[in-house]
């Protein structure tokens, strides 16, 4: 009986993805914005996440992602996450990037993030610095926060790069999360492997991959996304180039 309910829940959770593709996508396609010759073609990604949480609970979260002309939008209509994100970036003459996004998650928070990635004089190195304001939707003991992160990327070969991010935890002064990863890539495929150690001794891990149009991955996170929950997340998606 439990298995039947889970299968039914999985089928029902796919309906929002179909709705997004049929109704919301045409609205996104009407937005053009400035185009640049060096930008990649517009992309559409349909993705489904299966979330296994400590305590035995599980969730199915479908989402749709759209990117065009340095603008992106993402919508979630899942069992755990219902929300929207919009954002974009621009580059200066040196190629350094400046980005921002706004995210709303129903029942959780409003997030505004700004970041810059600066190309250095040293070949292959990029420095990153960013800040995130988190307005918690009222909850017992919740409080608004400002989170900072700093890091660097090292590009090597044609498409590969190693990455480090150090992220502050505003809930506990002095606690930091470190995201260390390496992407092994070709022109249209990649595998990213990463570990997520924290200064309190907790360690997570993740793997994300893309093989032409197919995207998939898995990650395990302790106290996921500034909560007290431990999670394992599996994702499967398909990407289209729209031009």
Q: Where are the domains of the chain?
A: 2-241
Query: Rounded to whole angstroms, how far apart are CA atoms 242 and 43?
Result: 6
Output the pLDDT for position 162.
97
> For all residues of the chain together, what is the average pLDDT?
84
Query: Rounded to whole angstroms, how far apart are CA atoms 130 and 36?
Result: 25
Of 177, 112, 132, residue with least CA distance to 151: 177
Q: Residue 36 CA to chain centroid, in angstroms? A: 24
Output the pLDDT for position 33.
52
Query: Rounded to whole angstroms, how far apart are CA atoms 79 and 226?
Result: 19
**Whole-prediction pTM value?**
0.80
Output the pLDDT for position 128.
98
Output the pLDDT for position 37.
52
Q: Residue 115 CA to chain centroid, in angstroms? A: 14
Kindly report, residue by residue over 82-120, the tens digit of the pLDDT.
999 999 999 999 899 999 999 998 888 899 999 999 999
Query: Rounded to whole angstroms, how far apart are CA atoms 68 and 87?
Result: 11
Output the pLDDT for position 201.
85
Length of the chain (residues) = 243
Output the pLDDT for position 170.
81
**Least-confidence region, from 69-73, 121-125, 195-199:** 121-125
pLDDT at 28 over 80: no
Query: Rounded to whole angstroms, how far apart are CA atoms 208 and 193?
Result: 7
Query: Rounded to whole angstroms, how far apart are CA atoms 49 and 221?
Result: 14
CB within 8 Å of 70: residues ≥ 6 apart: 33, 34, 36, 39, 88, 89, 90
Kindly report, residue by residue over 188-233, the tens digit of the pLDDT.
899 999 999 988 888 999 999 999 999 999 999 876 555 567 889 9
Pairing of strands 160-168, 203-211: unpaired
Query: Rounded to whole angstroms, how far apart are CA atoms 65 and 101?
Result: 14
**Contact in structure between 234 and 50 (CB atoms under 8 Å):** yes
Query: What's the CATH architecture for 2-241?
Result: Beta Barrel (2.40)
Whose structure tokens read 């599996």?
Answer: 234
């Amino acid at each position: 009986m439990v298995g039947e309910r889970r299968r039914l829940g999985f089928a029902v959770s796919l309906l929002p993805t179909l709705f997004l593709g049929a109704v919301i996508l045409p609205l996104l396609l009407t937005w053009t914005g400035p185009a640049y010759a060096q930008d990649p073609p517009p992309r559409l990604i349909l993705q489904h996440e299966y979330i296994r949480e400590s305590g035995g609970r599980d969730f199915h979260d479908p989402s749709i992602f759209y990117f065009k002309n340095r603008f992106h939008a993402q919508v979630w209509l899942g069992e755990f996450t219902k929300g929207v994100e919009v954002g974009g970036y621009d580059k200066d003459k040196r190629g350094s990037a400046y980005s921002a996004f706004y995210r709303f998650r129903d029942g959780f928070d409003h997030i505004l993030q700004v970041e810059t990635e600066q190309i250095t004089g040293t070949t292959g190195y990029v420095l990153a610095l960013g800040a995130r304001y988190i307005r918690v939707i009222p909850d017992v003991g919740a409080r608004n926060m400002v989170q900072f992160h700093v890091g660097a990327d090292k590009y090597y070969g044609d498409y590969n790069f190693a990455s480090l991010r150090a992220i502050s935890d505003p809930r506990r002064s002095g606690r930091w999360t470190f995201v260390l990863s390496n992407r092994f890539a070709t022109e249209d495929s990649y595998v990213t492997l990463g570990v997520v150690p924290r200064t309190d001794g907790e360690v997570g891990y993740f793997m994300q991959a893309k093989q032409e149009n197919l995207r998939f991955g898995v990650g395990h996170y302790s106290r996921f996304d500034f909560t007290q929950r431990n999670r394992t997340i599996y994702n499967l998606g398909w990407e289209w180039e729209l031009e």
